[in-house]
Structure 1
Amino acid sequence: MIRYALRCEQGHDFDGWFRSSDAFDTMRSAGHVACTRCGSATVEKTLMAPSVPAKSAAKPAGNPVETALAALRQQVEANSDYVGLKFADEARAMHEGRTASRAIHGEARPEEARKLIEDGVPVAPLPFIPRQKTN
């Protein structure tokens, strides 16, 4: 996993974790990398110092970040319903009381996510792409 320091067009700084440099480029090109504050999909990498552990601090086999992400994915998938590209509609309907509240996860375009946040709908991005495909 690679941690990048990122900045959106509005100047908001945030971090993102990616499987590789190519994964970052692919996700950004597809519009899946967005500012955590304003939802802007115009995001660039910024300068950052690499994290190089000393030999004595070398970690044993097994990446703890990957382990934590796998555990989070398992928890989310086991305890929520995947609603695919209907995420924004489902989250808004629950927030407005038009449907019963339940734990959901899915996909939303950056502008949809930004609108949900602006309207006070409690949502948060997940650090992984859902396994399910809607098409």
Structure 2
Amino acid sequence: MKIKKEDITVTMEAPGTIMRAMEGLGGFTVSYHELPEGTDFTPLLKGLANDSCHSPHWGYLFEGAIRAIYDDGKEELIEAGDAFYMPPGHTAIVEKDAKLFDFSPTKELNEVFENINKRIAELS
């Protein structure tokens, strides 16, 4: 099976932001995101355990840079051309406009995005 990023459903769109996701891939969701510099997921994760994302992500960053911050205080900069794994217990800040694919377990990812959507509604 193959799919073009343009054929993945847009789940969120805002100025400079396009988030796409497709479920049903063996219990995983494939996502393609375009995120602007300065995007900080931290406030959107409030209310989850440790106020952090509990879904693991495997991916590839095509453009930009993302700072992953883990519950244990460790940080790492993921840069264009990097394949990555973010284990459960993290947040992320976009350091430079980013384009990436990632793969995440659907159940956990849906729980995280349910919380994100709730937080966005509260902040609006």
Q: TM-score, normalised by structure 2?
A: 0.31
Larger RCO (alpha carbons 8 Å, 6+ apart):
2
Q: Which protein shows a greater Rg?
A: 1
- Structure with greater proportional strand content: 2
Q: TM-score, normalised by structure 1?
A: 0.29
- Structure with greater proportional helix content: 1
